Chain A
Amino acid sequence: MSHPLRAAAFTSDAERTTWHDETLWFVRQKRDKAVYGIPEFQQLRQLASDIKEHTLSRLDEYLEQFEQNARANGVQVHWAADAEEHNRIVLDLIRKAGATSLVKSKSMLTEECHLNPYLVNNGIAVVDTDLGERIVQLREEAPSHLVLPAIHLKKEDVGETFHQHLGTPKGEKDPQALTEAARLHLREKFLIGEVAITGVNFAVAETGAVVVCTNEGNADLGVNLARVHIACMGLEKLIPRTADLGVFTRLLARSATGQPVTTYTSHFARPAAGREMHIVIVDNGRTRQLGRPDFRASLKCIRCGACMNTCPVYRRSGGHSYDFTVPGPIGAILSPNIDMRQHSSLPFASTLCGSCTDVCPVKIDIHAQLYKWRQIIAQEGELPAAKKLGMKLLSSVLARPGIYRLGGKIAREGLRFLPHGLTHAQALNPWAKARELPEAPKQSFRDWYAQQAVKQ
């Protein structure tokens, strides 16, 4: 199913669409307030972009430096070429630890690798400990947003889910009561957690440490109570120095939620005495993207979600309409790299308004990349046949002034004299479902101009 069909299903609930749009617009406005308050914000964006571009330009060196330093800290480093290898490595580590359950803090990488179903199929109990992630996990849904995984749900929906799974009273929708229920439920899980998995926001090459940003402190609770910590990261998460980190932490939380900084910025450098720490570094298509000059900048992404909050299409179609781990504009430029055919409608799920590019804290030219993916998708023959043919036809008309004039006249006359019911038949003309066509004039501009010339 393509994006337009899933989006149409979402917008068919007009009230919910309004609520979704306004909720995310509120987050965008919080971001604006935080951004306007920092006079050097645009310089920070440039600096972050430059640091990331530099890091990507010598990623091999930084990866090796990072691995070396992490090993020197007593951390075991694993390399995974793809999602399957990542999942296998994680399962092996869990089995070696003799564990049957684990707690996980938020990690879009493990979502991307579909780690949860893999582990569950292999008899491991997985508990997501980020509140939003836990909600969607209980509902057996995918996150619909990078930093707000359950943003597609209202408090009533959460109340119903908690009633079913956590035994809260039927009809309970008070956010504080629901959060308290989740706290108690998760606390039990933290206490019995043997293995803790975290994502990684930043990996510092010069120290070998990883940095995890959360608002709930769940990463810290998980890691500090478990015997084994497994940190899973995409290989683009590197920054060269600890000194660079401040640039990104200032940008990340402001862009994501309008906070000056996330509540917790946790540094994990080495395992505590008697415990293990592992880092799994995953490629899964990233080096392929690095090798595409037009798209390599997408690897600068720090997963703040600002492009989703600002995207007028995302806000009105919901994260699930993208059917990809990373939804929204950034997902639409990452997904064709993974499977162009499956995700071919995503780069077209945009008006190319450019707002995504303007909010991006690391200055990824998202809308320009959407445009470029469209070209590639068309060249690879992945456009719907009608679109392809239509564009060829249009081109042949527009390169020939005589045919253009004739075509324009026919269209105008058709619109003037055909019955409204036919020109606005919704089955034939999607435009007319919600809009009137222009009222066709008798005369085109060029006709008027020619008349003027005659008069003079």
Chain B
Amino acid sequence: MKVGLFIPCYIDQFYPQVGIATYQLLEKLGVKADFPRQQTCCGQPMANTGCEQDAKPVYRHFVDTFRGYDYVVAPSGSCVYHVRKHYDVVEQTAQVQHVRQATYDLFDFITSVLGVTELPGRFPHQVGLHLSCHGQRGLHQANESEMTPVREGQLSRLLRTVDGLTLTELNRNDECCGFGGTFCITEEAVSARMGQDRVQDHVLNGTEVLTGGDMSCLMHLEGIVRRRQLPMRVMHAAEIFNAALQQPSKPVSTFVPGAVAAL
């Protein structure tokens, strides 16, 4: 199984520890991922601003970079959603179609492809999970409150298996954080207010470590946490699992090499 690691541009530059945790976590789960050096970005910033035409060269570059891999894995549901959903505006060659299907969010990959249902290890903290809208509503990685009262999803399930970890019960389980790409600049006032309200929900309900599967939401929320000097750490969920697995209490029994779900 040839896995290409896609580390989104802003993670590469500003949150290398998230890329490292992703790489090491995959390694601990028996997957040696490759990081093709010519990668840049998925093109979402331009496209969400209305400049899909300008993004097309970036789409082609992405496909060229990753076409040789069985799977492309990224620690960001938003970028993955963009590749899967919005790469429909370039010619649908076999390569484009393959890359669109083969691109996975890290936790979707761990859950659906590797078949891992629990991650041993210890992380004795109260963790607040921020659901990314693109992961949740776009990629259906978690239930939506618009549809059902049951709060369940890939990431919350995995987090609950970690020893010592308790999940925060939020007042609003899946409200958007307000990042929204260039929205965070062009609609600064509303964006900031949305982020402040999300953070406040975590403060009120006792979150010590704020986490999620999408670093872009977390970058925005971290910006608010640090500005307000709140006693809360912000970590990508890959960092939590990677840290928890430093001293695994039991082997990762659920992963059977070769038992890979067919696409």
Contacts and interface: CB of A to CB of B under 8 A. Distances in A.
A176 B77 CA distance: 49
A108 to B, nearest CB: 24
B223 A348 contact: no
B190 A317 contact: yes
5 contacts: A379-B53, A387-B182, A401-B37, A401-B39, A440-B13
A351 B178 contact: yes
Contact of B51 (A25, A395, A408): A395
A434 interface: yes
Given A35-B147, A377-B50, A437-B223, 8 more contacts: A313-B194, A351-B194, A353-B180, A357-B137, A378-B53, A387-B49, A431-B184, A431-B185
Contacts of A371: 47-48, 86
Interface stretch (A3-11, A149-157, A287-295): A3-11
A316 B190 CA distance: 6
B20 A445 contact: yes
Interface string A341-362: 0000000111111110111000
Given A4-B187, A353-B176, A387-B49, A438 B192 contact: no
Interface string A11-33: 11010010001000100000010
A355 B223 contact: no
B183 A350 contact: yes
B205 interface: no
**Which among A3, A375, A441, A445 has the greatest number of chain B C-beta atoms within 10 A?**
A445
Contact of A358 (B9, B58, B137, B226): B137
Contacts, number: 218
A217 interface: no
Contacts of A354: 133-134, 137-138
B93 interface: no
Given A32-B146, A353-B133, A394-B46, A316 B138 contact: no
Given A4-B189, A394-B45, A431-B184, A445 B196 contact: no
Interface string B3-25: 00001011111111111100100
B197 interface: yes
A11 B57 contact: no
Contacts of B258: none
A436 B190 contact: no
Nearest to A368: B85
A411 interface: yes
Looking at chain B's contact residues, the main secondary structure is helix
A374 interface: yes
B227 interface: yes
B13 A411 contact: yes
A392 to B, nearest CB: 6
Chain B interface: which size bin? 35 or more
Interface of B: 7, 9-20, 23, 35, 37-41, 43, 45-55, 57-58, 60-61, 86, 133-134, 137-138, 144-149, 172, 175-176, 178-197, 219-220, 222-224, 226-227
B144 A358 contact: yes
B83 to A, nearest CB: 14
Interface of A: 3-4, 7-8, 11-12, 14, 17, 21, 25, 32, 35-36, 42, 310, 312-313, 316-317, 348-355, 357-359, 371, 374-379, 383, 387-388, 391-392, 394-395, 397-401, 404, 408, 411-412, 430-431, 433-438, 440-441, 443-450
Given A7-B189, A371-B48, A436-B226, A443 B53 contact: no
B137 A436 contact: no
A353 B137 contact: yes
A348 B49 CA distance: 8
B137 A350 contact: no
Contacts of A408: 9, 12-13
A209 B35 CA distance: 65
B15 to A, nearest CB: 7
Given A32-B145, A398-B43, A445-B7, A355 B188 contact: no
**Which among B19, B23, B186 has the greatest number of chain A C-beta atoms within 10 A?**
B186
**Which among A12, A411, A437 has the greatest number of chain B C-beta atoms within 10 A?**
A437
Contacts of B19: 445, 448-449
Contacts of A445: 7, 11-12, 15-16, 18-20, 35
Given A11-B190, A387-B49, A433-B192, A441 B16 contact: yes
Contacts of A352: 48, 133, 180
A438 B14 contact: yes
A378 B180 contact: no
Contacts of B49: 348, 374, 378, 383, 387, 391
6 A-B pairs with the lowest CB-CB distances in the bound complex, closest first: A435-B223, A351-B180, A378-B50, A445-B19, A434-B192, A374-B50
Given A395-B51, A398-B43, A312 B176 contact: yes
Contacts of B222: 436, 438
Contacts of A17: 193
Contacts of A404: 9, 40-41
A444 B46 contact: no
Nearest to B225: A436
Contacts of A375: 47, 50, 52-53
Nearest to B33: A449
Contact of A378 (B43, B51, B134, B187): B51
A394 B10 CA distance: 13
B146 A434 contact: no
A445 B24 CA distance: 12
Contacts of B15: 438, 441, 445
Contacts of A3: 187
